[in-house]
Amino acid sequence: MALAILVAAGTIAAFGQSATVPPDAAPATQIAPELKHPDPRYQLHKSDTFDVNFAFSPEYNQTVTVEPDGYINLKEIGSVHAEGETVPELTESLKRAYAGILRDPVIAIALKDFEKPFFIASGQVSHPGRYELRGPLTVTQAVAIAGGFNDKAKHSQVVIFHPVGNKGYEARLLNVKKLMASRNLENDVYLQPGDQVYVPKSKLSKIRDFMPNTGVGAYYNPATF
């Protein structure tokens, strides 16, 4: 399946570098600042289940599930869109929805069954896979959890794909090699739920299989790749 990638000003943003994309790529879009937010709020997904409690009108208390179309069905109100909303956002939406039949409704939402936050590590890491995102986590920490880079990794062009609803993905480059060499992790990127960290192959690793095992160092300098 092809992935739609939204990029900024015709490039994939990077720390001190950029990667050109074809001119017929998707319209330019700024990378969301939330990419570096250490504590993003959970957004509701299909099949999530939660309690809706009314402090002064318990007869409206109910347990609802986000349907395949992204909506929930509420007593006396009917359908309200919930997918992609955070708990505070949906709470405000429900207050507005019930304002027609209740005066100043006090509503609390309690998640019961929901998709656990995760990230995906892929490409040239020792243990590619899907991992739980249990708290604030940066790209370098995610790579470490996935077993670190393997010997084919291009450390200078790690890509972070961030899902943007049904629009595809935002993409950002991170020069982990430069980041680690500077011994300053200030520009390390925090992951959000659903993010994918992709580590591409280095140029040297692509041709290594076609070169003799001895004498390669005399012709190629791995530090340049």
Q: Where are the domains of the chain?
A: 5-40+117-210, 49-113
**Predicted local distance difference test score (pLDDT) of residue 213:** 52
Indicate the pTM of the whole model: 0.54
Q: Which of 1-5, 47-51, 145-149, 174-178 has the lowest mean pLDDT?
A: 1-5
Topology of domain 49-113 in CATH is: wza like fold (3.30.1950)
The residue among 213 and 222 whose pLDDT is bigger is 213
Q: Which of 197, 199, 210 is nearest to 150 (CA)?
A: 199
Statement: residue 141 has pLDDT above 70: yes
Residue pLDDT, tens place only, 25-38: 333 333 333 444 55
Position 157 pLDDT exceeds 70: yes
CATH topology agreement for domains 5-40+117-210 and 49-113: no
Whole-number mean pLDDT of the chain? 78
Q: Which CATH number fits domain 5-40+117-210: 3.50.50.60, 3.10.560.10, 3.40.50.10330, 3.40.50.2300?
A: 3.10.560.10
- Which of 68, 73, 22 has its CA nearest to residue 45? 68
pLDDT on residue 134: 82
Distances in whole angstroms, Cα of residue 87 to Cα of each of 43, 113, 207: 7, 14, 50
Q: Which of 27-31, 103-107, 150-154 has the lowest mean pLDDT?
A: 27-31
Distance CA 4, CA 128 (A): 22
Q: For residue 38, what are its two tokens?
A: 């250490």
Of the listed ranges 26-40, 94-108, 133-147, 200-214, the least confidently predicted one is 26-40
Longest dimension (CA), the chain: 81
For tokens 């896979």, what's the residue? Answer: 129
Summarize pLDDT for 1-25 with one digit per residue, the tens. Answer: 444 434 333 334 433 333 333 333 3
Check residue 217 and give its pLDDT: 40
| Cα–Cα nearest to 155, from 180, 137, 138 | 180
217, two tokens: 């160092």
pLDDT at 212 over 70: no
What is residue 43's predicted lDDT score, i.e. its pLDDT?
86
3-state secondary structure of 53: strand
200 CB neighbour count, 10 Å cutoff? 18
Query: CA torsion sign, 136 to 139 to 141 to 142?
Result: positive
